[in-house]
Structure 1
Amino acid sequence: MLSKKSPIRGVLNWLRRQPPKVKAFLAVLAVMTALVLLRAIVHDHDNLFIAAEAVHSIGISVLIYKLTMEKTCAGLSLKSQELTAIFLAVRLYCSFVMEFDIHTLLDLATLATTLWVIYMIRFRLRSSYMEDNDNFALYYVLIPCAVFALLINPSTSHNIMNRIAWAFCVYLEAVSVLPQLRVMQNTKIVEPFTAHYVFALGVARFLSCAHWVLQVLDSRGGLLVALGHGLWPPMVLLSEIVQTFILADFCYYYVKSVFGGQLVLRLPSGVV
């Protein structure tokens, strides 16, 4: 636990007192600094994508431990897991018909564990599932993602339905964590294993976003051109950024809680 005179605690207390505009500016500055450091340290930026997959795997491992050892799914959103399974299944289909690579195998493993988590929550640990708190309506994200996919999708030579499916999974992945955030917003208290899992998602999505941003910078915009023309390239990049910033606020309070020596994360009103 940090002492009251700890420099880190002092910095966190100073940040908490700042107005929202200052916090937003400092957050953008921190992200830009992190990107500069990653660009200098990691020469092969594909390693960032691998690191993102590794961190995501760690998060899933924490989730598996919670479900098998703690015998409870309290605090977890079944709807977030279902959205994850949907976009992974669609992405796997696109990978098989468009470009099969190592990421296809990684997605297959992730989908298998996600389906197992869904099974555990829905059947084996149903009594501990907080259904009343998991009240995010899925059509709030499914319908907009489908509409965006119909309107804005890759301009490649693939079949139009495959291109729409590809766009749909990109958009859905960006917002799939929203039901989980709603559960945490409703409960206000997040137990450790759920907090670790969601934090791992935040870190993984930041690394994935950094991978795309640095690839665009290194190619001097050439990557966006390679993705096609029209609104699709910027929408891909925007989706990656949205994924990161959706979890940014939670990650801040998670880090603050860890440095404060608290095992249980308590979220103030208005967070997530």
Structure 2
Amino acid sequence: MGPLRRSKNPVYVLSSWVRRQPPKIKGFLAVITGIVSLLFLKLVVHDHDNLFVAAEAIHALGISVLIYKLTKEKTCAGLSLKSQELTALFLAVRLYCSFVMEYDIHTLLDLATLATTIWVIYMIRYKLRSTYMDDLDNLPIYYVVIPCALLALAIHPRTTHYIVNRILWAFCVYLEAVSVLPQLRTMQNTRVVEPFTAHYVFALGVVRFLSCAHWILQVMDSHGYLLTALGHGLWPSMVLLSEIVQTFILADFCYYYVKSVVGGQLVVRLPAGVV
């Protein structure tokens, strides 16, 4: 796309204007966009449980893209092994909590996701080790795990379950919210994200938004009863906050992804300071 055509492209003009705005204005625009999107989903999707189903389907699609990259492209370049390990950790903890606290269909879905994640870890660590960008995947895992563990000790559900199970439940909720940080750090270090990795991370962003929208709309539909059902104290608010944090962590990348796709670019180019 030539400079003249790009200058007339409404998406390019809008993205250029947004990029020039100060951080406070960008934050305000992000909040307004989120509110408008929520209102749109509330009007269009009558059964808000369908948002959770859609999130699960898109997550499966994202994992399929990742599997294709590893098996057909024979490379794990641009992927963060640490993010996959964090994902496996919170899924394993959540599976344990599901078995001892609230076994349901989502337990089976988590089991399938965990099995796939372990396979991805095996491929990166052993089969495709030569293509793994170890020096760029440089966010220490304990920077993520330790704060989540401390927060779980301080704020966890006030239910009748054993205290250890309640702390583990809180830990997996907090860890899920930030497990993608090493992947974003890796992409920031490379600055150029190839298509399959970009598709996978964008799918995670969509999943997080739909999951967050599901929680918020369910709380609205129940007039706040859902938060009360989760327990007392700070825990219900932290559950909702964790969903919102996950969404905003990926929002910036999703913006650049959409911008690149609309602009006809095969790769996503990230400016400094996205992560």
Query: TM-score with structure 2 length normalisation?
Result: 0.97
CA distance in 2, matches of 1:147, 1:87: 15
Shift of 1:44: 1.2
Equivalent in the alignment of 1:161:
164
Matched, 1:41 2:48: no
Equivalent in the alignment of 2:198:
195
CA distance in 2, matches of 1:69, 1:101: 34
Shift of 1:27: 1.0
CA distance in 1, matches of 2:29, 2:137: 32
CA distance in 2, matches of 1:139, 1:197: 24
Equivalent in the alignment of 2:97:
94
- Runs (4 or more) in structure 1 with deviation over 3 Å come to none
CA distance in 1, matches of 2:19, 2:164: 48
Q: Which runs of 5+ in 2 are unaligned?
A: none
Equivalent residues, number: 272
Correspondences of 1:92-241 after superposition (within 5 Å): 92-241=95-244
CA deviation map 1:5-49 (0-9, x unaligned): 222222222222222222211111110000001111111111111
Matched, 1:72 2:75: yes
CA distance in 1, matches of 2:122, 2:145: 21
Please give the root-mean-square deviation of Cα atoms over the aligned residues, in Å: 1.1
CA deviation map 1:118-166 (0-9, x unaligned): 0000000000000011111111111111111111111111111111111
CA distance in 2, matches of 1:268, 1:203: 21
2:239 match: secondary structure: helix
CA distance in 1, matches of 2:162, 2:43: 39
CA deviation map 1:157-211 (0-9, x unaligned): 1111111111110000000000001101111111110011000000000000001
Shift of 1:267: 0.6
CA distance in 2, matches of 1:125, 1:7: 41
CA distance in 1, matches of 2:203, 2:45: 20
Matched, 1:29 2:32: yes
2:77 match: secondary structure: coil
CA distance in 2, matches of 1:67, 1:37: 36
CA distance in 2, matches of 1:27, 1:48: 21
Q: Do the aligned partners of 2:74 and 2:128 also contact (CA within 8 Å) in 1?
A: yes
CA deviation map 1:58-95 (0-9, x unaligned): 11010000000000000000000000000000000111
2:38 match: secondary structure: helix
2:274 match: secondary structure: coil
Q: Do the aligned partners of 2:11 and 2:259 also contact (CA within 8 Å) in 1?
A: no
